[in-house]
Amino acid sequence: MMYRSMQTLCLLALVPLVSNCGSAEQQDIGERFATGPLKELNIPLTAAPEGASIAITAPADGAVVSSPVAVKFAAENVKIRLPGTFYPGSGHYHLLIDTDAPSATAVIPADAQHLDLIRKETEIQLELSPGSHTLQLLLGDGNHVPHDPPVLSEKITITVQ
């Protein structure tokens, strides 16, 4: 009986905390974090790992492929880790599709043109419409921010039949 009373008391203590989770102020901070410049948010840039490089190893630049496209990645002198982890010399992949690299001083968007590869993938199957497409990798730190300086792969162009 005492155990059940303590459970109820603990749950009641959490109600005010949970009810504030969707407050307008917190949503505004979330929106600013997703789009705002880092200087306003006091988020420091992470130094790029010494000698780090990332590459798209398949398909080759200029390849003619069919959808879904198997896209493979490789990294040198950098440890690929899960987003939200902060270890020196590490980061995670963002695949840029038909777009240029975003600002080096803002959070990398997460949308159809900026795929956040959150599971340490080294290969994905990508559904692309017929036509010409560009692909490029960008290394993000634990906060989904490019390193300083940004670590980018070469941009490749492929044609989907």
In this structure, are 85 and 29 located in the same domain?
no
In this structure, are 30 and 57 located in the same domain?
no
**88 belongs to a structural domain:** yes
List of residues 6+ apart from 87 with CB closer than 8 A: 79, 81
**48 belongs to a structural domain:** no
**154 belongs to a structural domain:** yes
**115 belongs to a structural domain:** yes
Distance CA 111, CA 121 (A): 17
**47 belongs to a structural domain:** no
- Which residues constitute the domain of residue 156? 53-160
At 72, which CATH number?
Answer: 2.60.40.10
Share above pLDDT 90 across residues of the chain, in percent, rounded to a whole number: 62
pLDDT tens for the chain, residues 1 to 161? 443 333 333 333 333 333 333 333 333 333 434 445 555 556 788 999 999 999 999 999 999 999 999 999 999 999 999 988 889 999 999 999 999 999 888 899 999 999 999 888 899 999 999 999 999 999 999 989 999 999 999 999 999 99
- pLDDT at position 2 is 42
In this structure, are 83 and 24 located in the same domain?
no
- pLDDT at position 105 is 85
In this structure, are 16 and 64 located in the same domain?
no
Q: How many domains does the chain have?
A: 2
Q: Buried b / exposed e across 36-52, counting CB within 10 Å, b at 16+?
A: eebeeeebebbebbeeb
